[in-house]
Structure formats: structure tokens, C-alpha cells
Amino acid sequence: MILHSNVIGEGKPFIILHGFLGMSDNWKSFGLKMSQNGYQMHLVDQRNHGRSFHDLQFNYEVMVDDLLAYCNAKGLNKIILLGHSMGGKAAMLFACKFPELVSKLIVADISPRFYPIHHDQILNGLSTLDFLEIKSRSQADEVLSSFISEVGVRQFLLKNLYWISPGQLALRINLEVLKNEVSEVGEALDQSAHSKVLALFLKGDRSEYVTTSDFEIIKGHFPNSKIETVSNAGHWLHAENPDMFYDKVLKFIY
């Protein structure tokens, strides 16, 4: 099975991998803007997310296999690869296993290190959504507000809602598998994994996902990397300061 994607523009292949509980649509504005610079943007839905297939297996090894199958099916090589959060971990592993396929790597607000489980409240909130009772996004938002106070996070999660049939809402994500396998999301890059691919690690100045103590770890895995900060941004740096994020990516890949 091949991952679902939204392909925008023509030119050098540029693949984007979204984060946990996200989807390719989260990157549409960035993809449209970047496509105007001669890049063919591949906004990919990873397994158990968006419009891609559901599967009981969920870990970085199978995500990397999915991406390899996608590149083979589309005839892509020497790609620019960008991953955010969970997508960044998958992108790192891909660049280590298949460096010949990656011309440049961009990792958004994640380090190769281990992260403890921290999505419990979100997953619990999503699990309480009863679509026999909930008939609108606003009703779903009201339920989630008991678990998640941040409006922006709820709006991000509610993008997963869709009309499975007239009057019947559902979630695109494979919630049961993602709940069961959530520990996989925080797994560290194996100590033996290294890549000499040119890499840019971008961190939000208000995010705690990448700290100065991570810099040595990043350099250990990716010796040809540089680390830059996007100001006035947290973990969703591409949405919180899209202009600076775009400028830093464009400068790096030119």
C-alpha cells in the first residue's frame, strides 16, 4: 500500500512528513508557497493518519519503509526531506538508512533523543468523542475542552474530523492503534544511526522539545548539521511564525 499524498507544483522533489495526530493538510500553505520556487511538494499522510491506510504496526521502522515504497512508486530520488516532530524522527531515520536518496534534511522541533509519553490527555479526550451523540465540530470541541485547554491544539486535532456519511462524523486517524503504540513516538534514534546528509534542525524559541543539551546529540548523529531558532514560536513553529520558518528553509535548500 502506498501512502496518500497531495502533490503540488513541478520541479525538485520535496517531501514533508507531518507530526503525531497531524496530516498533510497541516502543511498546505507552506507547500503552496514553496512550490512557487521550483519544487514539487509531496505532502504525505503517514500510516494511521489522514487519508493513508490503517495498519496494526506503527513504529519508525515501518514509517521509513512506507516512505521508501512511496519514493520508489513515484520514481523519486535526491529528495529534500522535511519532518516535523514525529515526522522529524521518521525523516532522521530515513536519512540514516537511505542517505543516497536524500539531498538535504530539515527537522522541525525534535531531537534524536528519547521523549517520554506526553499525549495521554489528548488521546483520552479523543477517545471520549461519541459520534452517535456528537453531530458538529463545535460539539466535539466542547467535549475536548474538558481535556485540552489550548484552543489552537483543539483546532489542530479537530482537523481529523470528517463526514463519513451525511450527518455522521468520524476521525481519520486510527485512534485505537495510535493509543496502543503511542510509546513508539518517543523512541530515540538508535545510537548506531548516523548520516552525513546536509541537515538543518529548526527549533521554536518557546518550545521545550529541543534544548541546548540536545545540540551535542544532534551533531553526534548528523555531523553535517546546523541548528537554528525560529523566534516567537513554540512546537508548531511552521504555523506560529510561518515567514521566518519559510525563509530559513528556503535559504538552506538554495
Tell me, letter by letter, the H, E, C secondary structure of 143-154.
HHCCCCCCHHHH
Instruction: Specify whether 173 is located in the same domain as 205.
Output: no
CATH of the domain at 39: 3.40.50.1820
119 is catalytic: no
Half-sphere exposure of 181 (CA within 13 A, CB side): 19
Instruction: Specify whether 230 is located in the same domain as 159.
Output: no
Give the pLDDT of residue 51. 98
**pTM for this structure?**
0.97
Give the pLDDT of residue 19. 98
pLDDT along the chain (254 residues), means of 10: 97 98 97 98 98 98 98 97 98 98 98 95 96 96 95 94 95 98 97 97 97 97 98 95 98 96
Instruction: Specify whether 20 is located in the same domain as 106.
Output: yes
Instruction: Specify whether 197 is located in the same domain as 102.
Output: yes
- Choose one of 162, 180, 198: the last residue of a domain: 180
Instruction: Specify whether 100 is located in the same domain as 194.
Output: yes
Q: Which of 4, 18, 42, 235 is catalytic?
A: 235
90 and 17 Cβ atoms separated by less than 8 Å: yes
Instruction: Specify whether 106 is located in the same domain as 37.
Output: yes
Give the pLDDT of residue 82. 99
DSSP state of 197: S
85 is catalytic: yes
Q: Tally the residues of the chain.
A: 254
Domains: count for the chain = 2
- Say how far apart CA 117 and CA 208 lie, in whole Å: 14
Instruction: Specify whether 18 is located in the same domain as 78.
Output: yes
Cell 466535539 belongs to: 140
Instruction: Specify whether 10 is located in the same domain as 94.
Output: yes
- Choose one of 180, 195, 210: the last residue of a domain: 180
Instruction: Specify whether 106 is located in the same domain as 192.
Output: yes
Which residues, other chains included, contact 182 with Cβ-Cβ below 8 Å and sequence gap of 6+? 117, 119, 120, 123
Q: Which of 5, 24, 52, 85 is catalytic?
A: 85
Instruction: Specify whether 73 is located in the same domain as 46.
Output: yes
Instruction: Specify whether 48 is located in the same domain as 173.
Output: no
Instruction: Specify whether 151 is located in the same domain as 243.
Output: no
- Provide the residue range defining the domain that includes 146: 120-180
- Choose one of 132, 151, 180: the last residue of a domain: 180
